[in-house]
Amino acid sequence: MEHRIEQIKKQLHAQSYKLTPQREATVRVLLEREEDHLSAEDVYLLVKEKSPEIGLATVYRTLELLSELKIVDKINFGDGVSRYDLRKEGAKHFHHHLVCIECGSVEEIVNDLLEDVERIVQNDWGFEVKDHRLTFHGICKQCQQSAVKAN
């Protein structure tokens, strides 16, 4: 944890941004809930528990800044809110998501499954890929099992 905070501090300083207490509190929440996919509001409420004086706009600005620095990825699962997802330590690409249309759960795939596809896009379409967003919608393992039992 402290190690990753330090790392992020360096990334900020490299662009001459400061790691203010508010920013640090925000980053800590993201680290503590790394598996989750929090909205700005979610993050705000969690940060507020420890640092009640923080403002919502600051959380928005911090998340925006972290997005620009590629420390977090902004993603939208189609429910009208942007969610902020910490990039895995050392990962050079954004991970993929499995969204269950039954229970709403979100699972992550950290393996890069798109290497071949990106090569094709590069070669056949002449498009220089810098980043990607891949989300599968379907039925998660648990819901499949529940469906079997119900029959």
Partner DNA sequence: TCTTTTAATTATAATAATTATAAAATAGTA
Partner DNA sequence: TACTATTTTATAATTATTATAATTAAAAGA
Residue 13: HSE in the Cβ half-sphere, 13 Å Cα cutoff = 6
> In this complex, which beta carbon is closest to DNA, that of residue 70 or of residue 119?
70
Cβ proximity to its own copies: between 78 and 90 the closer is: 78
Helix, strand or coil for residue 49? helix
| Residue from 96, 93, 81 nearest 137 by CA | 96
User: What are the C-alpha distances in Å from 87 to residues 39, 48, 123, 126?
Assistant: 15, 23, 27, 27
Cβ-based nearer residue to DNA, 61 or 95: 61
Binding site partner of 131, from its own copies, Zn ion, DNA, none, Cβ cut-off 5-8 A by kind: its own copies
Beta bridge partners of 72: 86
Q: Binding DNA by CB under 7 A: which of 58, 72, 93, 140?
A: 58
With CB under 8 A as the contact rule, the residue among 3, 92, 116, 123 that binds its own copies is 116
89 makes contact, choosing from its own copies, Zn ion, DNA, none, with CB < 5 to 8 Å by partner type, with none
